[in-house]
Structure 1
Amino acid sequence: MIKYLSGYFTPSFLKKRIKNIEFFMRYPIEIQNKLIGQLILYAKNTEFGKKYRFHEIKKYQQFSERIPLCKYANLKSVIKRIRKGEKNILWPGSVKWFAKSSGTTNTRSKYIPVTPSSMNECHYKAGKDMLSIYIHNHPKTKIFFGKAVRLGGSHELYKNYNTFYGDLSSILIKNMPFWAEYICIPRKKIALMSEWEKKLETLIKETCGKDVRILLGVCSWLLIFLNRLLKKFDKKKINEIWPNIEVIFHGGVSLNSYIHQYNNLFEKSINYYDVYSASEGFFAIQYQKNVKDLLLLLNHGIFYEFIPVEEIDNINPKILSLDKVELNKNYALVISTNAGLWRYIVGDTVKFTSLSPYKISISGRTTHYINSFGEELIIENAEKALNITCLKTDSIIHEYTAGPVYMNKKNSGAHEWIIEFKKHPKNLCNFRDILDNELKYLNSDYEIKRYKNMVLGPPIIYVARNGLFYDWLKKHKKLGGQNKIPRLSNDRKYIDSILNMENLKNK
């Protein structure tokens, strides 16, 4: 159903979603308390619910005392049973779809259950809210006069059992409701192609001549697609191909590393809206234009808890409900969901930038950091330091990764960076020194470890050739979808693999 307003149109059901968003913003704790009660009630007769006597749980304190924290390793054998067709294990009924997690380039796969409840009441509901917020912020938008390009992953049948797995984006595309399918291109058959490079070429042909106004996807892969599009049609700006392009909805990796490249692709400014979506759920959406923190979604089938990041490795860490969190502190995210994940540690860290309403920024990963020497370097530090360094050196970074160099009897430790530049700095030593100083300024632990080179020496930087990271992902069959380069790693697994690929390790 289309409703016309002052010559512009928006689907009326999307516009009405704003009232629901404003309601959970106004009553966040009440909404969350009601939600956990509903999740427990719905799952009380499952194997998990019976084991932990869900029928006895009346208050959050009972829930927190009774249900243990878990990581994927704790669920692996249970999920294997569910994939074989066993019912009523973590969530009522059987589960047909599993999101094959590609959050890192780790070869060990995770299969996250995706139930009809999580699809409809989390992912698709959040998708409607994403568009509703945009309409609310841009009341004269014309995005629904044109099409949206979705850049998803691949989908395939798990052949031993009657279940399906693939990137979450592919599962959502496969089951997409009519209102979303109406505006989206390419066709499902193309969107679900597993061969990434063939998909790119087909996608370029499919979108040629279409009135594209929305882009959706992981910003690193969207950037590759847009550059190939320009090359294919020998154009300098995307507006020459799509004159009405208006907004990019992006997630998966931070836009900060790519924003200069994106701005160079368009002859007039467009809108960027960040979302925080993972295989486990759709957690948050940018609520205000030009304000990058994210509104936590509180009535989308996910109950949230938080572990102070300094407690994450403790046997019995402190766990906080939403009403106990504080501003500007790093927390590991814990979720209980309508897909049957109970007190599941996602692996991301967040900071609250506002408590009324509850808004967050993604500060990093519990496993993506460098802390080999007590320096506690997180993604947030790295991104800010690199952005400032690029501004000061008039350079642009395309991709990067970093890891530790371990100390020995002769040398202190260091951080080793592999950086692929879109625009090279004039002086690499100057770039290194500025990066080092910015990291010291942003992270006092790093600064202490850098004192007189006693623990950490200055950063070591390798300049990667153009396309190195892309080729590395291709070699490891990780092209497309939500695959991405790990920015920071506390071991040398990734960095050695990339260096060895170019025979750079001992140069």
Structure 2
Amino acid sequence: MGLKAALSKPFAAWVVKGIDKWKKNAVKAQQAIFQSLVKEASSTVFGQDHDFASIKSYADFKVKVPIRDYEALKPYVDRVVAGEKDILWKGKPAYFAKTSGTTSGVKYIPISKESMPEHIKAARNALLTYIHETGKADFVNGKMIFLQGSPVLTEKHGIKVGRLSGIVAHLVPAYLQKNRLPSYPTNCIEDWEEKVDAIVGETINQDMTLISGIPPWVQMYFDRLKVQSGGKKIKDIFKNFSLFVYGGVNYEPYRAKIEASIGKKIDSIETYPASEGFIAYQDSQQEKGLLLLANAGIFYEFIPADEYYNENPTRLSLGEVELDKNYALILNTNAGLWGYSIGDTVKFVSKNPYKILVTGRIKHFISAFGEHVIGEEVEHALLSVANEEGIEITEFTVAPQVNAPDGQLPYHEWFVEFGTAPKDPQAFATKVDEALQKKNIYYFDLIEGKILQPLIIRTLQKDAFVNYMRAAGKLGGQNKVPRLSNDRKIAEELMQYVKT
């Protein structure tokens, strides 16, 4: 065992001891953060506009501060971007994380000097809790790769601007820098395919022990490694590769193909970072769910997902949530986001400690007929059948077909790229439809009442989703294919890749 690995174990034990303290008192930790956030921001423009000085309780806060998405908060953010101080949070942000918006174009998410350390600490603690639980620490002696966006930063009124992963790249602890790949020049390459090829060249002869990134782009990296190595499995290229760290999307649709590429099962850690804050990470290889970070500068609120679009939806604090219920996640942060709808939905699988699963996006659903099918349901329906039959799924998305041809009933249209295709596609589609009916009673009623016909699967050509993302200018980085759309924009683009 190397020196770093040996030292990491007592350090991990010390860190986990601290985590256990707030983990057992998460509601109390949230109450303390709530009071601190309101107090710290009371003299800001937002705090004055919303009378923070008079807020004594969460009940007061709900009256004073409405739920907002980025577009609704944008008038305040624009003032921060323009260089004004003390708008959403005291002073100016340390950084802006630049992301792609929907109706607002580019989004600038403020990151403060108080919030930035929480991102770094959470990423570190995810690894340390793994070391403490498993006793496996040898990976810290090898090379680690983080497939991420460019670290090149620009400036707006003296504030550094970049992708979250690019900002974090500048803040990796010194003791990890020597182990970290790719090189800075390679990381700065903007073209994703050129970048992946360069990363392959830099890493193929290295002792890679940890690989991190969004699963579909890690798969692209593995595919290029296979070609460059003459068809070898990843385990034969990187003999000490032992830990995969991922986030951004549900791993399950990609697990079979990634494990096939690796050639063996390895441990993995799921993380839930966002530009708005590091929300949760997997703290156990034995237990289900991600530990909600209740002591990390964020006060969480939860809206029952089926009430999200109501005029006055129910708003709950952590101590009021129920298990196995879908909630829209709302953030109040030490970077100045207030009543902020991040757009994700979660459900709790444990309250001792508080652990969540990310179930989808509040805007990514199909309800063209009142069924409100969500991401978790379509993923379960497809993967339960695929796993049972040994079928490999590369990628998929689903859209409604309201105007079915030739007088047919409407249906859900699934666009699936298979790694291993079913022998009987129609029988496979029937099983997936039956699985979805079991998960969603409204969908069942629509099929049973002959309002909808059973789903139809369109089998796509190899690399269809990569080609689609390339054409859309969204290849690589933090970009992801939505699982569900309530319109046919993506579906129409994918029609050109359907196998005939």
TM tier relative to shorter chain: over 0.9
Please name the residue that 1:90 is paired with: 88
Are positions 1:420 and 2:414 aligned together?
no
Matches of 1:44 and 1:177, distance apart in 2:
33
Q: Distance in 2 between matches of 1:192 and 1:407?
A: 45
Deviation at 1:158, TM superposition (A): 4.8
In structure 1, give the amino acid aligned to 2:87.
Answer: I
Superimposed CA distance per residue, residues 80-112 of structure 1 (whole angstroms, 9 cap, x where no aligned partner): 2212211111011112422222588x8933221
Match of 1:291, SS?
A: coil
Separation in 1, partners of 2:62, 2:46:
15
Kindly indicate whether residue 306 of structure 2 is the aligned counterpart of residue 325 of structure 1.
no
Matches within 5 A, 1:243-322: 243-322=239-318
- 2:111 maps to 114
Q: Is contact 1:400-1:420 (8 Å) kept?
A: yes
Report the Cα distance in structure 1 between the residues aligned to 2:106 and 2:83, rounded to whole angstroms. 19
C-alpha spacing 1:498/1:397, structure 2 compared with 1 (3 Å)? same
Q: What is the letter of the counterpart of residue 118 of structure 1?
A: S
Q: Would the alpha carbon gap of residues 448 and 296 (structure 1) be closer, same or farther in structure 2, given more than 3 Å must change?
A: same
Structure 1 residue aligned with 2:132: 136
| Unpaired stretches in structure 1, ≥5 consecutive residues | none
| Aligned mates of 2:396, 2:213 — CA distance in 1 | 20
Q: For residue 99 of structure 1, what is the aligned residue in structure 2?
A: 97
Instruction: List per-residue Cα deviations over 1:3-43 (Å, max 9, x = no partner).
Output: 678xx441754442111210111111110000111111222
Structure 2 gap segments, 5+ residues each: none
Correspondence for 1:441: 438
1:170 corresponds to 2:166? yes
Secondary structure of the 1:478 match is: coil
Q: Give TM-score scaled by structure 1 length.
A: 0.93
Q: Which residue of 2 aligns with 1:429?
A: 426
Q: Within 1, Cα distance between the matches of 2:10 and 2:444? A: 54
Letter matched to residue 193 of structure 2:
E
Give 3-state SS (helix, strand or coil) of 1:152's partner: coil
In 2: Cα distance, 1:383 partner to 1:291 partner = 20
Which residue is equivalent to 2:209?
A: 213
- Structure 2 CA distance for aligned equivalents of residues 336 and 266 of structure 1: 40
Taking only the aligned residue pairs, the percentage that are identical comes to: 37
What SS is found at the alignment partner of 1:461?
A: strand
Going from structure 1 to structure 2, the CA distance change for 1:180 and 1:342 (only over 3 Å counts) comes to farther
Q: Is the 8 A contact 2:417 2:460 kept in 1?
A: yes
Deviations 1:307-332 (CA, angstroms, capped at 9, x unpaired): 01111010110100111101111110
State the SS of the aligned residue for 2:310: coil
Change (3 A) 1:11 1:232: same
* Aligned twin of 2:67: 69
User: Given the two structures, how large is their TM-score scaled by the length of structure 2?
Assistant: 0.94
**Which is further off, 155-164 or 430-439?**
155-164
Aligned-residue offset at 1:208: 2.9
Residue 196 of structure 1 aligns with which residue?
A: 192
Question: How far apart are the structure 2 equivalents of 1:140 and 1:401?
Answer: 37
The residue that corresponds to 1:152 in the other structure is 148
RMSD between aligned residues: 2.2
Is 1:123 aligned to 2:126, yes or no? no
Alignment map for 1:48-59 (pairs within 5 Å) = 48-59=46-57
Structure 2 CA distance for partners of 1:138 and 1:291, relative to 1, 3 Å: same
Residue 458 of structure 2 aligns to a residue whose secondary structure is strand
Residue-by-residue CA offset, 1:203-252 (whole Å, 9 max, x unaligned): 11221322111111111111111111121111421121111111101011
Q: 1:455 to 1:312 in 2, by over 3 A?
A: same
C-alpha distance in 1, partners of 2:42/2:370?
Answer: 43
Work out the number of aligned pairs and report it: 498
